Structure 1
Amino acid sequence: MIAHLRGKLVEKNPTDIIVECGGVGYFLNISLHTFSQITSEENIFIYTYMQVREDAHTLFGFMQKSEREIFKKLISVSGIGASTARTMLSSLTPAQVVEAITHEEVDIIKSVKGIGAKTAQRVIIDLKDKLGEVSEDVNEIITSSRNTQKDEALSALETLGYTKKQSEKVVNRIIKEDAEASVETIIKLALKNL
C-alpha cells in the first residue's frame, strides 16, 4: 500500500495531479479541497490512499491526513464509492463533512451530487460514532487557521493605531459570528466597529 508520496509536482488539475517520484509519474485523483491547498511549489508531499479493484488500481491524494481518514470512513459506508466520497470532499470541506455527520444534518449531506436521502441517513448512522479522533484533527486545523487570521488582523489593526486590548474584543466577536471570514473581511468589519 502506498501511504504517501514526496516528489516533483509535474501536473496540477482541479480533479487530479501527477507527482514524479524516482522517475515514475503517479496519477492521483484529488478533491477540490486538496486542489485548493496545493501550492505552486515544485516539490510536494501528499498523503495517499490506494484503492485496489479487479479492473483498476486507483490512487487518491490528500494534503491533510485528516481528509484521508474522512475519505476512508466515507468509503466504508455501503453505497458510497470512492468517486462519491471525493465529490463529497469537493463539495464540502472535511470540517463541514464531520460537522454534518455529527450534528445529523441530512440536508447538507444530501446536497452532494449523487447522494440521496437514504444514503445520507446511512452515512450519519454508520459514521456518527466513528469520527471522534478525526474531528479532533479537523478542529485543530480549523482552529490553527483561525488563529493565524486573528493574529494577522490584530497585527494590522495595531499598525493602524488601535490597541490590542481594544481590537481583540471586536475581532473575537467577528470571528465568532463568521468563522470563515478572511483577514481582509475581519479588518474591514473591525474598523467599522472600533
Structure 2
Amino acid sequence: MIAQLRGRLIEIHPSHAIVDCGGVGYHVNISLTTYGKIQKEENVLFYTHHLVREDAQILYGFADKEERFVFEQLISVNGVGPASGMMMISTLNPGEIYHAIANEDAKTLQSVKGIGIKTAQRIIIDLKDKLAKLSDSEFISSSSENKIKFEALSALEVLGISKKQSEKIVQKLITDTPQITLEAVIKETLKKL
C-alpha cells in the first residue's frame, strides 16, 4: 500500500493532482481543502489512501494526517464511498466533522451535498464510539487559522455561548483579518453577540 507521496507537483486541479516521484507521475485525487493548502507549492507531500479495486487502483491524497484519518473513518461506514468521503472532506474540515459526530449533529453532516438524514445518522452511530476515544487536539489542523478558530469556539463555550451563535462570527473575523490574535477574536465575537 502507498501511504505517502513526496515529489514535484506537475499539475494541480481542484479534484486531482499529478505528482512526479522519481520519474513516475502519480494521479492523486484530492479534496478542495488540500487543493487550497498546496496549490502554490512545487514540492509536495501527500498522505495517501490507496484504494485497490478489481478494476482500478486509486490514490486519494491529503495535505495532513488528520484529513486522511477522517476520510478513512468515513469510508468505513456502510453506504459512504470514496466520492462521498471526498465531498465531506471538501465541504467540512476534519475538526468540523469530528465535532458534528461527537455532538450528534446530523444537520451539519447533511449540509454536505449527497448526504441525507439516514447516511448522516449512520455516520454518527458508526463513528461516535471510535472517535470518542480520541482527543479534540487530534483534529486541530496544523494551520494557525484552525487552531485559533477551535480555541476561540472552545473559550466562548466555556463562557456559556453556544457554538451555533458564535461560529459564523469567529470564521468571518478570521477570514477578514488573517493576522488576528485569539484574544482579539474572542473580544470581537463577544462585542458582536
Report what 1:136 is aligned to: 137
1:70 aligned onto 2:70: yes
Q: Tell me how far apart the structure 1 counterparts of residues 35 and 112 of structure 2 sit (CA, whole Å).
A: 18
Q: Is the 8 A contact 2:13 2:35 kept in 1?
A: yes
In the TM superposition, 1:9-24 aligns within 5 A as 9-24=9-24
Report what 2:43 is aligned to: 43
The amino acid of 2:140's aligned partner reads N
Q: Tell me how far apart the structure 2 counterparts of residues 71 and 135 of structure 1 sit (CA, whole Å).
A: 17
Q: Tell me how far apart the structure 2 counterparts of residues 183 and 110 of structure 1 sit (CA, whole Å).
A: 27
Label 1:144 to 1:40 Cα distance change in 2 as closer, same or farther (>3 A): closer
What SS is found at the alignment partner of 1:48? strand
What SS is found at the alignment partner of 1:25? strand
1:86 aligned onto 2:86: yes
Report what 1:184 is aligned to: 177
Structure 1 residues 19-28 or 107-116, which shifts more?
A: 107-116
Label 1:142 to 1:6 Cα distance change in 2 as closer, same or farther (>3 A): closer
Report what 1:163 is aligned to: none
Shift of 1:133: 2.8
Q: Tell me how far apart the structure 2 counterparts of residues 103 and 126 of structure 1 sit (CA, whole Å).
A: 14
Q: Tell me how far apart the structure 1 counterparts of residues 83 and 71 of structure 2 sit (CA, whole Å).
A: 10
Q: Is the 8 A contact 1:146 1:179 kept in 2?
A: no
Structure 1 residues 98-107 or 129-138, which shifts more?
A: 129-138
Q: Tell me how far apart the structure 2 counterparts of residues 142 and 25 of structure 1 sit (CA, whole Å).
A: 28
The amino acid of 1:184's aligned partner reads T
Shift of 1:107: 1.0
Label 1:118 to 1:55 Cα distance change in 2 as closer, same or farther (>3 A): same
Unaligned runs of 5+ in 2: 152-158
**Could you tell me the percent identity over the aligned residues?**
44
The amino acid of 1:69's aligned partner reads F
Shift of 1:114: 1.4
Q: Tell me how far apart the structure 2 counterparts of residues 6 and 142 of structure 1 sit (CA, whole Å).
A: 20
Q: Tell me how far apart the structure 2 counterparts of residues 77 and 134 of structure 1 sit (CA, whole Å).
A: 21
Q: Tell me how far apart the structure 1 counterparts of residues 12 and 41 of structure 2 sit (CA, whole Å).
A: 11
Q: Is the 8 A contact 1:75 1:85 kept in 2?
A: yes
The number of equivalent residue pairs is 167
Q: Tell me how far apart the structure 1 counterparts of residues 44 and 141 of structure 2 sit (CA, whole Å).
A: 22
Shift of 1:143: 6.4
Q: Tell me how far apart the structure 2 counterparts of residues 21 and 140 of structure 1 sit (CA, whole Å).
A: 26
Unaligned runs of 5+ in 1: 151-172
Shift of 1:147: 5.2
Shift of 1:111: 1.6
Label 1:112 to 1:183 Cα distance change in 2 as closer, same or farther (>3 A): closer
Label 1:140 to 1:88 Cα distance change in 2 as closer, same or farther (>3 A): closer
1:34 aligned onto 2:34: yes
